[in-house]
């Protein structure tokens, strides 16, 4: 980069800054030459007739089932109360045969006894469910609250 100091009038106060683009152009020309030389080397291959295929991705996402366990042990399938363990097992067996199998998310109340949540896990296992997750709330430290 070059800079002219002073002007035609001889006044020392005026500074004229210009960018010298010659080095930039030189570098770009060198890069262009390197690119032109290396491209034929990269694209050398044997010419063959490749088969054509229609590639249409099919993404089937399994739906999620949320099972909530309240403090007193009531079990909810989504928002619907499940009246008994037998009915819970029936619901689980109905969805366990779906392909792909839906994921189950358990929302257990913080103050619920573990036996209630363990009972739901046991019924899920008996029904043949494979993927079970737990929904929790992040702690105050994870939220950045001090």
Domain boundaries 64-141, CATH class: alpha beta
Average pLDDT taken over every residue of the chain:
81
For residue 104, pLDDT over 90 is answered with: yes
Nearest partner of 135 among 112, 111, 105, 109, judged by Cα? 105
pLDDT reading at 7 higher than 80: no
Give the burial class of 47: count Cβ atoms within 10 A of its Cβ; 0-12 exposed, 13-18 middle, 19 or more buried.
exposed
Lowest-confidence pick of 56-60, 93-97, 118-122 = 56-60
The Cα 104–Cα 106 span in angstroms is 6
C-alpha R_g of the chain:
35
Per residue in 16-70, pLDDT tens?
A: 678 888 888 999 999 999 888 888 766 666 666 666 666 666 555 668 899 999 9
Which residue spans within 93-139 are E strands per DSSP?
103-108, 132-134
Please determine, for residue 74, whether its predicted confidence score (pLDDT) is greater than 90: yes
pLDDT band of residue 146 (cuts 50, 70, 90) is low
Q: Measured between alpha carbons, how far is 3 from 92 in angstroms, rounded to an integer?
A: 79
In which residue ranges of the chain is CATH 3.30.420.270 found?
64-141
At residue 12, what are phi and psi to the nearest 5 degrees?
-75, -15
Q: Is the pLDDT of residue 115 over 90?
A: yes
Tokens 């909810």 map to which residue?
76
Bigger pLDDT: 39 vs 77: 77
With bands split at pLDDT 50, 70 and 90, how would you rate the model's confidence at 82? very high
Residue 33 is encoded by which pair of tokens?
């030459």
Which pLDDT score is estimated for 17?
A: 78
Alpha carbon 108 to chain centroid, angstroms? 26
């Amino acid at each position: 980069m070059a800079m002219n100091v002073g002007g035609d009038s001889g006044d020392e106060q005026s500074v004229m800054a210009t960018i010298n683009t010659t080095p930039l152009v030189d570098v770009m020309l060198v890069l262009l030459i390197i690119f032109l030389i290396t491209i034929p080397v990269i694209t050398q291959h044997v010419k063959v007739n490749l088969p054509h295929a229609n590639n249409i991705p099919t993404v089937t996402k399994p739906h999620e089932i949320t099972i909530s366990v309240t403090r007193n042990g009531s079990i909810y399938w989504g928002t619907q109360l499940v009246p008994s363990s037998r009915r819970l097992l029936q619901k689980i067996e109905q969805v366990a045969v779906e392909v792909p199998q839906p994921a189950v998310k358990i929302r257990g109340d913080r103050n619920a006894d573990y036996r209630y949540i363990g009972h739901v896990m046991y019924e899920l296992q008996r029904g043949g469910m494979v993927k079970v997750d737990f929904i929790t709330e992040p702690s105050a430290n994870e939220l950045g609250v001090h």
